[in-house]
A and B are shown apart, each in its own frame.
Chain A
Amino acid sequence: MGNTILEVVNLKKHFLQRSGLFSTLRGQERIIPAVDDVSFYLKEHETLGLVGESGSGKTTVGRTILGLTPATSGRILFDGRDITALSARDFRPFRKEMQIIFQDLDAALNPKMRIRAILKEAISVHEDINGPQLERKMGELLEQVNLKESKLTNFPHELSGGEKRRVGIARALAVGARFLVADEPTSALDVSIQAQVINLLKDLQENLGLSYLFISHDLRIVELVSHKVAVMYLGRIVEMGLTNRIAESPRHPYTRILWSSLVEKESKEVPGASSGGRSGDWGVFDFERPYSGCRFAPRCPVYQERGRPEKCTDPSTEPHLRDIGEAHKVACHFPL
């Protein structure tokens, strides 16, 4: 596999939010720890899958790495170089190497530009390239992402979902990126088109030696394309390891619940789980709920089964990622 292309160390990204809709003039500012101490590394030609639901912070991790939003603390190292606090100008050369595929299909595409113009812009951003060379490069790109040449004269709104996604991928490839953050590349696509996109991403990784940070809420798809998986909950990584280990024997209760929600469509959560009388479907994005200690405790079936042990909710013994063998890490006091 080779060198480490990306390393993230103790990354934190906090958002400030004024609480409440009708806060008083001296409204309190609440800190939302969208990403709270996340660390991982990615080697070349590898895919690291980042799973979690909305509010888990996975998208924020991707965007912070790309410099689209500044990190609050921590370090991001690309190819060994610290890119955490670079100015916009110093960051630009790195944009040649790292790109993002946005979650929203229409995001990267200016609705008033034809596809040809969009791709031309992407190709000529960092290099001065023109004429027949440009045409050749464009043809190469189209072939790589399996897009028909006739689509060049169309506008984004005339393309289907799968085609738009492929244009987004082509754009990222056009600058010559080696590292791609794929933010939910398959959601909003039909199942049959999802398969096309997944296959395409796999092919590209094989042929071009790309490295991916694959962000998704679908654990199955992530496990299909990733070498390693990290599961996030409320800003933290709760489990991380090689894909087949996680797929075969997940150790964190949340991972298990996520899997069964996706596959069997059955909830294995504790029904009516509550912490201070509040339950309901707040799910992951629940920074409103005061938590102490393990953030997952209120929904955790293991926590209930073991009679609500103090260890889980005591802030001083908050579970951190522990190595449990074979590069498998879990942040849980009572892993399955």
Chain B
Amino acid sequence: MKRYSQLSRHVGAYSDLPFWKKAAPVELLYVGYGLLVVALVVVSYILGATHLLPHDPQEMDLQLLMAPPGTADHLLGTDFVGRDLLSRLILGIQAYFLPGLLAIAIALTLGTFLGVLAGYRGGRIDTAISYGANLIDSFPRLVLILLMVAAFKPDIYYIMVIVGLTNVPVVLSLIKGKIQFLKERDFIEAAIALGLKSRVIILKHILWYNCRTVLIIQATLGMAEAILIETSLSYLGFGVQEPTPSWGNMVQAGANYFMQGKFWPSTAPALAILVTIMGFHLLGDGLNTILEGKRGT
């Protein structure tokens, strides 16, 4: 109700409660869970990179094939050739973490740059950029990836470059929309009147203050997507190849044994995929509602 928002200004003496007290509990749950997942991923990445793993992920223990979780200090059991599942899971993060960051970096930097250009300058530049964005958007991403895989080698980094590029239109239109909206706002005009240079205005006022939340959210969604694509491709055999572990190819490897009742080697990585992607999505969603949604008056 509009009137109510006018009223809240009368409580000037109090500073607003910090956002974690204002947000609905479920959103905090999402964000909390998401942050937990992110922390786990980062920690796991570091563990994997420095080889601080409980077991050697390539060591095969042929006595303990497909052992259930808990046997002989294999916390999550072993896979079909006796390798420790937990270590392989942790190592599997290597498959998507850096590549995912690459995809995000490409999407955000290119998308922001082009979005700013299109939004601020408008006119023909805008038309040209939008045309290009539409072009990229209309390509089915998977086809592009498979083309890339067929033409070159199935290197996950190349694939992520494609993923990043195909995400540029989304970021572009988000940023462009924000800029077009904000450009008309008076405080931008006021900044010009004050004598600020255009560059400063764009970087500081528009991007930092107004777009950073959107960009953070896009980053979380980008990572979720990267995970999905990498694991899907690996599952299909186009991504990371054995014996390097990827959650996708672990699911694939364990699939054969599913029918025999040994479902754990498949389920563990599948659950990991589910939990992680959900974590990133919920983080993005929760942040979106808290930071972008019902904010302030």
Q: Direct contact between A and B in the complex (CB less than 8 angstroms)? A: yes
Given contacts A158-B16, A160-B12, contact A109 B194 (CB under 8 A): no
Q: How far is the CB of A55 from chain B (nearest CB, A)?
A: 20
Flag whether B187 is at the interface (Cβ < 8 A): yes
> Which chain B residues border A153 with CB–CB below 8 Å?
15
> Which chain B residues border A106 with CB–CB below 8 Å?
186-187
Q: Is the CB of A107 within 8 A of B190?
A: yes
Instruction: Indicate which residue in A92, A109, A155 contacts B187 across the interface (CB closer than 8 Å).
Output: A109
CA–CA, A108 and B192, complex, Å: 10
Flag whether B196 is at the interface (Cβ < 8 A): yes
CA–CA, A126 and B196, complex, Å: 8
> Which chain A residues border B297 with CB–CB below 8 Å?
157
Q: How far is the CB of B190 from chain A (nearest CB, A)?
A: 4
Query: What total of chain A residues lie within 8 Å of the partner, measured CB to CB?
Result: 31
B 149-197 contacts with A by CB, 8 A: 185-187, 189-197
Write out, one digit per residue, whether chain B residues 20-55 have a CB within 8 A of any chain A CB (1) or not (0).
Answer: 000000000000000000000000000000000000
Nearest 5 CB-CB pairs, A to B?
A107-B186, A95-B195, A108-B190, A112-B209, A110-B187
> Which chain B residues border A110 with CB–CB below 8 Å?
187, 191, 205, 209
Q: Is the CB of B296 within 8 A of A111?
A: yes
> Which chain B residues border A107 with CB–CB below 8 Å?
185-187, 189-190
CA–CA, A121 and B205, complex, Å: 11
Q: Which of A12-20, A96-104, A197-205, A313-321 contacts B (4 or more CB under 8 A)?
A: A96-104
From A98, which residue of chain B is reached at the shortest CB distance? B193
CA–CA, A108 and B193, complex, Å: 9
CA–CA, A158 and B17, complex, Å: 12
Flag whether A159 is at the interface (Cβ < 8 A): yes
Interface centre among B187, B197, B198 (most CB of A within 10 A): B187
> Which chain B residues border A231 with CB–CB below 8 Å?
none
Jot down 29 A-B pairs with beta carbons below 8 A, ordered by A: A68-B189, A68-B192, A88-B198, A92-B195, A95-B195, A96-B195, A99-B193, A99-B194, A100-B190, A102-B189, A106-B187, A107-B190, A108-B186, A108-B187, A109-B187, A109-B190, A110-B191, A113-B209, A121-B194, A121-B196, A122-B194, A125-B195, A125-B196, A153-B15, A158-B16, A159-B9, A159-B12, A160-B12, A171-B190
CA–CA, A175 and B194, complex, Å: 8
Flag whether A238 is at the interface (Cβ < 8 A): no
Flag whether A154 is at the interface (Cβ < 8 A): yes
CA–CA, A102 and B187, complex, Å: 9
CA–CA, A104 and B198, complex, Å: 22
Flag whether B210 is at the interface (Cβ < 8 A): yes
Q: Is the CB of B193 within 8 A of A100?
A: yes
Interface centre among B12, B195, B197 (most CB of A within 10 A): B195
* Chain B interface main SS type: helix
> Which chain B residues border A157 with CB–CB below 8 Å?
9, 296-297
> Which chain B residues border A171 with CB–CB below 8 Å?
190, 194
Query: What total of chain B residues lie within 8 Å of the partner, measured CB to CB?
Result: 22
> Which chain B residues border A111 with CB–CB below 8 Å?
187, 296
Interface centre among B192, B193, B196 (most CB of A within 10 A): B193
> Which chain A residues border B186 with CB–CB below 8 Å?
102, 104, 106-108
Q: How far is the CB of A66 from chain B (nearest CB, A)?
A: 6
Write out, one digit per residue, whether chain A residues 147-159 have a CB within 8 A of any chain B CB (1) or not (0).
Answer: 0000001110111
CA–CA, A187 and B190, complex, Å: 18
Q: Is the CB of B12 within 8 A of A158?
A: yes
CA–CA, A54 and B185, complex, Å: 20
> Which chain A residues border B15 with CB–CB below 8 Å?
153-154, 158
Q: How far is the CB of B144 from chain A (nearest CB, A)?
A: 38
From A96, which residue of chain B is reached at the shortest CB distance? B195
Q: How far is the CB of A174 from chain B (nearest CB, A)?
A: 8
> Which chain A residues border B191 with CB–CB below 8 Å?
110
Q: How far is the CB of B35 from chain A (nearest CB, A)?
A: 23
A 121-167 contacts with B by CB, 8 A: 121-122, 125-126, 153-155, 157-160
Write out, one digit per residue, whether chain A residues 79-96 have a CB within 8 A of any chain B CB (1) or not (0).
Answer: 000000000100010011
> Which chain B residues border A125 with CB–CB below 8 Å?
194-196
